[in-house]
Amino acid sequence: MNRSDFPKANRIVVKIGSSLLTDGGRGLNKQAISDWVEQIANISLGNKDILLVSSGSVAEGISRLGLKQRPNTLHELQAAASVGQMGLIKTFEDYFQKHNLHAAQVLLTHDDLSNRQRYLNARNTLLALIEFNTIPVINENDAVATEEIRFGDNDTLAALVTNLIGADLLIILTDQEGLMDSNPNINPDAQLITTALTNDPSLDDVAGDSTSGLGRGGMFTKIQAARLAARSGTATVIASGNESNIIKRIISGEELGTFLVPNIDPIAARKQWLAGQLKIRGQLVLDNGAVNKLQNSGKSLLAVGVKSFTGQFNRGDLVTCISNGGTEIARGLINYNSEESKKIIGKPSADFEKLLGYADNAELIHRDNLVLL
């Protein structure tokens, strides 16, 4: 496999990690930021849309506050993010201004993207900023996000933004050369994986956690982000942000980093939204017949095919569907709450009125509100 399939990208999302932005935690690396901004400005002025997903607010706040390590408590992390975000966005705005461009701060929590109306509002805002020839600088809203609603890492956020605005390419810049075939800290002969299929299961075996301690993601989250981006047909490049002129060289098709080729069929926008949701309220265990119908016949999920469930959920909440062996098969918006579901799982739809006292939807999850994984 080579890079003959490299996309002609007109809309690009670039994610820059904490260790790069903060020079390993020693405060904002302003020279590096200046270089990246210059590249992004030149790309934008060349009639391409480019959006930046920036980590670093917590790490910058840690540096400004003189802390020795990343805090463990949520309120301390939020305080560090509040302090750090000021320096981060001011630096980006100052450097973009030198190229006669404005930066726009966009702070998101998962709640903003889990609600369909707010999801569409976020999309419209980002598209409007692009129309105004402004560079959106997007970050998780760490100052208010709680454990329940946070994305968990900005790799995931970058992938969701990629789906949100229909980007052609996701570039994830890190402090590593790319994805290696083994741990380079252990094996000095580790080789760079230059090109791979996004859904290649062997990638999971070589992915590791964050080594810097500054961010929340490692190579595993980057692979997961690439798979999420692939749901809108988007390719991903994971590369070193320390390389000279890295963004422009990647967009031109130069073989740098790891190129992850989407090898799944793109799914409709609404189902991209469903696939990207992380706030799962319940888990349904399906029998083999239900798994087969979902995977091979495009059917809705009926209660008769559900063996058991866990969780507390309301009508319209997101639940995950798993096989007997524990493999996640699908996600969807459920038509009955957990108390109602307790009465009807394993039963045919014709019995709903007798069991519940009323009959609403015949399906536990309608196929229009279901996405296969």
Report d(CA 239, CA 258) in Å as an integer. Answer: 6
pLDDT of residue 152: 60
Q: Which of 248, 271, 294 is the last residue of a domain?
A: 271
Q: Which of 234, 254, 271 is the last residue of a domain?
A: 271
Q: Which of 213, 243, 271 is the last residue of a domain?
A: 271
How is residue 226 written in tokens?
Answer: 């690439």
pLDDT of residue 142: 66
Q: Taking a C-beta distance cutoff of 8 angstroms, is the pair 96, 103 a contact? A: yes
- In sequence order, what are the residues at sequence separation of 6 or more whose Cβ sits closer than 8 angstroms to the Cβ of residue 16? 36, 52, 53, 54, 55, 56, 173, 241
Report d(CA 223, CA 273) in Å as an integer. Answer: 19
pLDDT of residue 212: 47
pLDDT of residue 216: 46
Helix, strand, or coil (residue 152): coil
Report d(CA 369, CA 165) in Å as an integer. Answer: 21
- If one counts the domains in the chain, the total is 2
In the chain, which stretches have pLDDT less than 70? 1-5, 24-25, 142-152, 208-217, 278
Q: Which ranges of the chain would DSSP assign to H, the alpha helix?
A: 18-21, 30-45, 57-65, 74-97, 110-114, 116-131, 154-165, 203-206, 219-230, 246-251, 269-276, 288-297, 338-344, 352-356
**pTM as predicted:** 0.79
- Are residues 261 and 230 both part of a single domain? yes
List the CATH number of the domain containing 300.
Answer: 2.30.130.10
pLDDT of residue 214: 45
- Are residues 208 and 347 both part of a single domain? no
Q: Which domain holds residue 115?
A: 3-271
pLDDT of residue 283: 96
pLDDT of residue 223: 93
